[in-house]
Amino acid sequence: MTAAMTTPDSAMLAVLVERMDRLTAGLEAMASALGMVGGAGRPAAAPVAPAAPAPEPVVPPQRWTGWHANALRSALRMSQEQFADKLGVSRRTVTNWTVKPTMVPRTGIQQLLDIAWSWADDAALNRYQHLVEATTVVGVA
């Protein structure tokens, strides 16, 4: 190839520049019409969506029942045996919560369940909340 073939002549260059200017002007007009360009060709500030309200914190029940204890165990993804071992109670105690969901454990167990609540991370608390909202047990508030 010769040098003349690889270098665009000035007329061709002028045509390309003119087309580029028209294209740029058209894009700027479209962006302006869509509200995407601020003054002096700067990008407009993105519209700010209203902040979603903060979710209500998940709180433990004021009075644990067998049903609440079993829901917490399920949310923590523990077997009855694992939950009993971690709480330091018999497996039979945990089984009774499943069989008798309206039973109210004695004060010492209530305190252990409050401690077990602290083991729950956000995902487990979310699972607990869904269990509580999705299930109704007669006699359990």
Please answer whether residues 114 and 120 qualify as being in contact, where contact means their C-beta atoms are separated by less than 8 angstroms: no
Sign of CA dihedral 99, 100, 106, 108: positive
d(CA 7, CA 34) in angstroms, rounded, equals 39
Task: Please tell me the pTM assigned to this model.
Answer: 0.60
Question: Using one digit for the tens of pLDDT, what is the confidence trace for 102-118?
Answer: 999 999 999 999 999 99
Question: Using one digit for the tens of pLDDT, what is the confidence trace for 9-60?
Answer: 777 777 778 888 887 887 787 777 776 655 555 666 667 777 778 778 889 9
For the purposes of burial, counting CB atoms within 10 Å of the CB of 109, is it exposed (0-12), middle (13-18) or buried (19 or more)? middle
Please answer whether residues 64 and 112 qualify as being in contact, where contact means their C-beta atoms are separated by less than 8 angstroms: no
pLDDT of residue 12: 74
Q: Which residue has the higher pLDDT, 95 or 25?
A: 95
Domain ranges, ordered by start, for the chain: 7-41, 66-134
Residue 141: which pLDDT band, with cuts at 50, 70 and 90? Answer: low
Residue length, the chain? 141
Question: How many other CB atoms are found less than 10 A from the CB of residue 85?
Answer: 14
